[in-house]
Amino acid sequence: MQEEMTEYDFRQQMVAASLRLVELGLNRGAAGNLSLRHGENFLVTPSALPPEAMRPEDMVLMDFSGEVVTGERPSSEWRFHRDIFANRPEIGSVVHVHSPFATTLACLGREVPPFHYMIAAAGGTSIRCAPYALFGTQALSDHALAALHDRRACLLANHGMIAAGRDLDEAMGLAVEVESLCEQYWRALQIGEPNIISDSEMNEVMEKFRGYWRR
């Protein structure tokens, strides 16, 4: 269980996950970031450091006032990590990526409608796209929180994607799922407008998806 892991275990897990996001093609270079709740604080990846150069010691421990407890420069996006944790007690990990298909749709300002029932995996009947705001700002965090209301994933206009879960494995799995859905939606749009599942049908899906990520 995650609560039985030490802080160093968390740090190692974050390095491995950052490398895995690059291997999966969800991030490139130093793009993107991730975080883990840790007691009364949270750990976030460092600023401008590519995963292949990261060490467990580079992860930055922060408190909920935004102060660094240990470490140096946290990701410039630490505000939305902090605010998601502060407002969503069920969330234990946040993953932010600049994956190709999610970012393509985000640059068009398009939310992902229920063209496929697996949209429900993100917690709702659509994947919203938050309005654009400068990276690292409180405005971006506020927009992200609104887009994540009753959801576990959203797009960020002209930016990328956020996926959240009870732990890092869950958040990573959701990021992969959302990127796959964005690719499918993008491909369908090359031919025409895809059929959309009705609200009543999606409500049935949502009922079946309760506890979808539970292991």
Q: Catalytic pick from 7, 52, 77, 111?
A: 77
Question: Are the CB atoms for 172 and 95 separated by under 8 Å?
Answer: yes
Whether 111 is catalytic? no
Task: Give every strand in the sheet of 68-70, ordered side by side.
Answer: 68-70, 60-63, 41-44, 33-38, 93-97, 160-165, 153-156, 129-130
- The CA distance from 215 to 197, in Å, is 27
Catalytic residues: 77
